A and B are shown apart, each in its own frame.
Chain A
Amino acid sequence: MAGAAVLGRLTWRVATVLDVRPETARAKTLVLGVDGWPGHRAGQHLDVRLTSEDGYQAQRSYSIASAPRQDRLELTVERIDDGEVSPYLAGDDLREGDRFEVRGPVGGYFVWRSDAAGDVLLVAGGSGIVPLMAMVRQRAEETSPVPTRLLYSARSWDDVIYRDELERLAGAGFEPLFTLTRSQPAGWTGYARRVDASLLGEVAPTPPAATFVCGPTPFVEAAASALVGLRHPPERIKTERFGPTGG
């Protein structure tokens, strides 16, 4: 059962790339088969370890994008050009059959519980959408009625990861809202400004039962502080910060 997934010792397991799907110009989804994967909960991440011919290794954390499932899982990685690991995972060379190691799932706090009552607010900045997508997908698979609003900030419409799927899943209590901070397509009717107190006040006029915020550190700091400023109880706000101060 996925709920107990973090209890045992986390061992390195071989992940085999089953498929690679481009999401945006910079982000790719990797479909992985992992022998003995114990399952996960929506919102958790795993560690990836790459090993070179001569034994050099590099590790990074990646959120799990797929809804909980035992036999395979998906990651979505955004390429950071001068990076070490992301250009390998989200570059042009990775292909079906390639292998690396993963261990997890990690993190028992930033998780969505399908049995929790009350409405949910998801706030994503850039690739911060990834763990939130696992929640959106699990909600859809379970046809959960939990009212869920997603505020997703991206630079442009072409930078929106999972765009078609998010639009397809809209309805039945799920409302994706986009804000495009750098450029907007002609006729854009969505938001076009940074996530701040005024935008969050419009999107969540009353504090939801649970809020999940994920993205680059400055984005998460700004969004979480604005929510607290709007008198959302801090203990209802869970955050996950990706990487350093960049983004």
Chain B
Amino acid sequence: MPIVSRGFKGKRRGEGPSDRVPPGQYLTDDFPVLSAGPTPHTPVDQWDFTITGEVDELTRWTWDEFRALPSETFTVDIHCVTKWSKLDTVWEGVRLDTLLERVETAVDYATAYCDGGYTTNVPLADLAGGRAWVVYGYDGELLDPEHGGPARLLVPHLYFWKSAKWVRGLRLTATDEPGFWESNGYNLYGDPWREQRYWGD
């Protein structure tokens, strides 16, 4: 039973459509940043994307190969665990389906790994079905390093820490292995609509 805070009225109620703003979130026009350390700056000629782990064969794309893959421009809403949501963000990138189609595996989980050492775990089912991308464009421009450039994962139906910045590949695993924030108190799955922010949510 929540307790009432004397005199609190709330200014931002009803700002967003309730079917698009999950519980506990508020809308922002800004693009806040959540990172645990300094921003890496990887030149694209040193960038590649690999799928490793429990796979029949390691698959690797250089930057040029990656940019030659079929891509799309699409609009989604994003939700950060620090409480902000941003509607109608426009991205450009490659569907995970396009990447996973090249890979033979019998396992169900993936860990995204990144420059700077960041990792995050996502069930493979959440990466498939047109719900996840590796993006390199934001709002008509190349993605800023601050926001994850050259490329970041984008899994908008989960809290935004799952959309790993500076992503360099996926490691497929038989079990769901907690990534960086998931080992530091944040939820293993991270569904904003069920408000799965922290351990035990």
Contact = CB atoms under 8 A, between A and B. Distances in A.
A51 B30 contact: no
A224 interface: yes
Given A51-B5, A228-B38, A84 B200 contact: no
Interface of A: 6-10, 12, 14, 47, 49-53, 55-61, 83-84, 88, 93, 98-101, 103, 106-110, 217, 221, 224-225, 227-228, 234-235, 237-239, 241, 243-246
Contacts, number: 124
A50 B200 contact: no
B175 to A, nearest CB: 20
B146 A221 contact: yes
Given A10-B201, A243-B32, 9 more contacts: A9-B199, A9-B201, A47-B197, A57-B24, A99-B3, A103-B198, A107-B184, A221-B33, A244-B31
B126 to A, nearest CB: 23
B11 A239 contact: no
A49 B2 contact: yes
B195 to A, nearest CB: 10
A101 B2 contact: yes
Given A101-B3, A221-B146, A225-B38, A84 B31 contact: no
B194 interface: no
B5 A99 contact: yes
B159 to A, nearest CB: 13
Contacts of B200: 8-10
Nearest to B28: A244
B193 to A, nearest CB: 15
Contacts of A228: 38
A235 B200 CA distance: 29
Interface string B1-28: 0111111111111000000000010101
B37 interface: yes
B198 A10 contact: yes
B32 A58 contact: no
Contacts of B53: none
Contact of A53 (B4, B146, B181): B4
Contacts of A221: 33, 39, 146
Contacts of B197: 47
Contacts of A243: 32
A146 B36 CA distance: 23
A78 B40 CA distance: 30
14 contacts: A9-B198, A51-B2, A57-B10, A58-B8, A98-B7, A106-B198, A221-B146, A224-B39, A227-B38, A234-B116, A238-B37, A241-B32, A241-B33, A245-B30
